Amino acid sequence: MFSHLKEDISSVFHRDPAARNFVEVLTCYPGLHALLFHRISHWFWQRRLKWLARFLSTIARWLTGIEIHPGAQIGNRFFIDHGMGVVIGETAIIGDDVTLYHGVTLGGTSWSKGKRHPTLNDGVVVGAGAKILGPFEVGKNAKVGSNAVVTKEVPANATVVGIPGRIITQQDKNDSAQVQKDMAEKFDAYGMSPDMPDPVAKSLGVMLDHMHAVDRKLECMALKMREMDSSFEDEALPELNDEDFKACCDEEADKSKPPAQSDS
Q: Which residue has the higher pLDDT, 236 or 10?
A: 10
pLDDT at position 264, please?
A: 42
In this structure, the dihedral spanned by the alpha carbons of residues 100, 102, 103 and 106, taken in order and rounded to 10 degrees, is 20
pLDDT at 10: 82
What pLDDT was estimated at residue 212?
75
pLDDT single digits (tens) 104-134? 999 988 888 889 999 999 989 998 889 999 8
pLDDT band at residue 262 using 50, 70 and 90 as cut-offs:
very low
Residue of 120, 129, 137, 194 whose CA lies nearest to 162: 129
State residue 94's pLDDT score.
Answer: 93
Q: Residue 232 corresponds to which amino acid?
A: F
Q: Which residues pair with 22 in a beta bridge?
A: none
Closest CA to 57 of 47, 46, 75, 42: 42
CB 89 within 8 A of CB 113: no
DSSP state of 173: -
Instruction: Tell me what the pLDDT averaged over the chain comes to.
Output: 79
Grade residue 165 by pLDDT with cuts at 50, 70 and 90.
confident
Give the residue with greater pLDDT, 185 vs 112: 112
Dist. CA 8–CA 20, nearest whole Å? 15
Mean pLDDT across 59-84: 91
Please say whether the beta carbons of 191 and 126 come within 8 A. yes
- Thinking of the domain 5-194, which architecture would CATH place it in? 3 Solenoid (2.160)
Rg (CA), the chain: 26
> What is the dihedral angle through the alpha carbons of 111, 81, 85, 196, rounded to the nearest 10 degrees?
-70
Q: What is the pLDDT of residue 63?
A: 93
Residue 191, pLDDT score: 54
List b or e across 153-177, with b for residues whose CB sees 16 or more CB atoms inside 10 angstroms.
ebebbbbbbeeebeebeeeeeeeee
Model confidence at 23, pLDDT cuts 50, 70, 90, reads confident
pLDDT given at position 194: 57
71 Cβ contact partners less than 8 Å away, ≥ 6 residues apart: 42, 45, 90, 91
Give domain limits for the chain.
5-194, 201-256
Does 225 score more than 80 pLDDT?
no
Question: What does the pLDDT look like over 234-253, one tens digit per residue?
Answer: 666 666 665 665 555 555 45
